[in-house]
Amino acid sequence: MVARNTQKRKKAAPLPRKSRTGLAAAPTKNFHVFQDYFRLDLDKKEIASILKTYIRDTFKGEERKLLLSAPEYMYTSQYGPAASIQWKNLGHEWPEKWDGVKSANLYIENVRSAALKKLETQSDSDSPIVRQSKSPMEIVRERSSEFIAEVEEVLDLFYTGVYVDVENYSVYNEMIKVDLSAVSAKHVMDYYTPLKEELEELINKKTPDLVEGYSHLSTQKRKAYLKLIELIVSDCERFILSKKAKRAPSKPKVKTADKQIIKLNYAKDSAEYKLTSINPTSIVGATRLYTFNVKQRVLTEYVTQLPKGFEVKGSTLQGIDPNLSRAIRLRKPEEQLSIFMTKTPTAINKFWSTLTTKTIDNVNGRINNDTILLWALDK
């Protein structure tokens, strides 16, 4: 007889699963997170594939041929419609404040317009295009245009009633997500400022030409539109100031500034008020400093008359003039803070006199973890 081998064989270790990437890795628990993934992480080819497949499955004949002949950017950059279509393809229901049907229809209208415009302007020349390297300024303009196109998509959705949850839309947060430069943010602000002024004239002065031009919008819708544009311009301004605040001073006024502020406690930023503290080394040697306590909503103006300016010891500002320094509680910090971050001391003093809350004369120079360092000046 042959003896059996009673030793058990070891099971082969399972191969590690490959991590999912691309469209398969898109989070599906929340539509807006799903949409953000399309915008920030999904390859443009996959976005184009979703949209072109939708066109092929929905349209036929000459209409399909026309829609597929639009410029390529109409398929690669339209993350919103792509996310909306794919969300439905996965069997999910759209959120209450998102009209997916309108989103798809609006997208098709835009594709059709772009395709027809391409046919009208198409050149018969077969000469090769000579590629040239882009200058830094051209790259900035291109990046600014891309971001404006994303904002315009949100405005289109608001304008047509596709997306009505604009209260939670923040251009400031969107700029942070894509790490936009301050120069590009300035381009965005300049782009929407004229529209803001036009809407203000429409609502406040009711200029006949503007009233006629916006007659398709109700008074309530006009005010909501102005509020949205004001928020966009305000967010651009805050983002630019935040970018400037993060810059290290080109020439430290005092060589030991970095050592003086090593134990200084302060708030680096505030998501609630969309603020970022300046580099604390800028305080040393300055003669005027504005701070804002986010917890108490107290704006403080510190002034010194010492020739060497302020010094910092631990977490206390040294050298402040108690007769010239002051503080005040802000009732509407969202509207008032930009004055203290952009205007001259003279203009700030004039604005201060219009505030209705009582000025606090006794300031002690203590800075804590709730304090944003707004602005340091030499005058």
* Residue 7 lies inside a defined structural domain of this protein: no
* Residue 77 lies inside a defined structural domain of this protein: yes
Pick from 190, 210, 244: which residue ends a domain? Answer: 244
Place of tokens 């042959």: 2
**Co-location of 107 and 171 in the same domain:** yes
* Backbone φ/ψ region at 319: left (φ over 0), alpha (ψ -120 to 50), beta: left
Q: Which two tokens stand for residue 356?
A: 């209705």
Q: Looking at the predicted structure, is the pLDDT value of residue 128 above 60?
A: no
**Co-location of 237 and 263 in the same domain:** no
**Co-location of 294 and 209 in the same domain:** no
Q: Which two tokens stand for residue 335?
A: 């509207």
Mean pLDDT of 87-103: 84
Our separate counts of H helices and E strands in the chain read 14, 9
Q: Which two tokens stand for residue 337?
A: 């803070």
- Cα 275 to Cα 40: distance, rounded to the nearest angstrom: 24
Q: Looking at the predicted structure, is the pLDDT value of residue 2 above 50?
A: no
Q: Which domain holds residue 330?
A: 257-377
- Cα 242 to Cα 271: distance, rounded to the nearest angstrom: 11
* Residue 16 lies inside a defined structural domain of this protein: no
**Co-location of 279 and 186 in the same domain:** no
Pick from 216, 244, 272: which residue ends a domain? Answer: 244
**Co-location of 205 and 306 in the same domain:** no
pLDDT tens-digit profile of 218-263? 888 889 889 889 999 999 999 999 888 877 666 655 457 889 999 9
Amino acid at 180: L
Q: Looking at the predicted structure, is the pLDDT value of residue 333 above 80?
A: yes
3-state helix, strand, coil in the chain (%, to 5): 50, 10, 40
| Distance from chain centroid for Cα 125 | 41
* Residue 212 lies inside a defined structural domain of this protein: yes
Cβ contacts of 206-211, under 8 Å, gap ≥ 24? none
Of 182, 312, 172, residue with least CA distance to 253: 312
pLDDT band at 107 (very low <50, low <70, confident <90, very high): confident
Identify which has the larger pLDDT, 25 or 369: 369
Pick from 183, 218, 244: which residue ends a domain? Answer: 244
Q: Which alpha helices (H) appear in the chain, and where do they start and end? A: 31-40, 44-58, 61-67, 73-76, 79-89, 100-121, 136-160, 171-178, 182-204, 208-213, 219-246, 257-260, 333-342, 345-352
Of 94, 92, 114, residue with least CA distance to 102: 94
* Residue 60 lies inside a defined structural domain of this protein: yes
**Co-location of 59 and 198 in the same domain:** yes
* Residue 146 lies inside a defined structural domain of this protein: yes
**Co-location of 230 and 264 in the same domain:** no
pLDDT tens-digit profile of 56-80? 999 988 888 888 988 888 888 788 8
CA-only gyration radius of the chain, Å: 28
* Residue 322 lies inside a defined structural domain of this protein: yes
**Co-location of 96 and 149 in the same domain:** yes
- Burial degree of 74 (CB within 10 A; 0-12, 13-18, 19+): buried
Mean pLDDT of 35-54: 86
How does the average pLDDT of the chain come out, rounded? Answer: 84
**Co-location of 328 and 229 in the same domain:** no
The domain tally of the chain equals 2
Mean pLDDT of 17-26: 71
Q: Which two tokens stand for residue 274?
A: 């969309």
Mean pLDDT of 329-337: 93
**Co-location of 58 and 184 in the same domain:** yes
* Residue 153 lies inside a defined structural domain of this protein: yes
pLDDT band at 326 (very low <50, low <70, confident <90, very high): very high
**Co-location of 189 and 299 in the same domain:** no
Mean pLDDT of 133-153: 79
- Cα 116 to Cα 124: distance, rounded to the nearest angstrom: 16
**Co-location of 285 and 240 in the same domain:** no
pLDDT at 25: 84
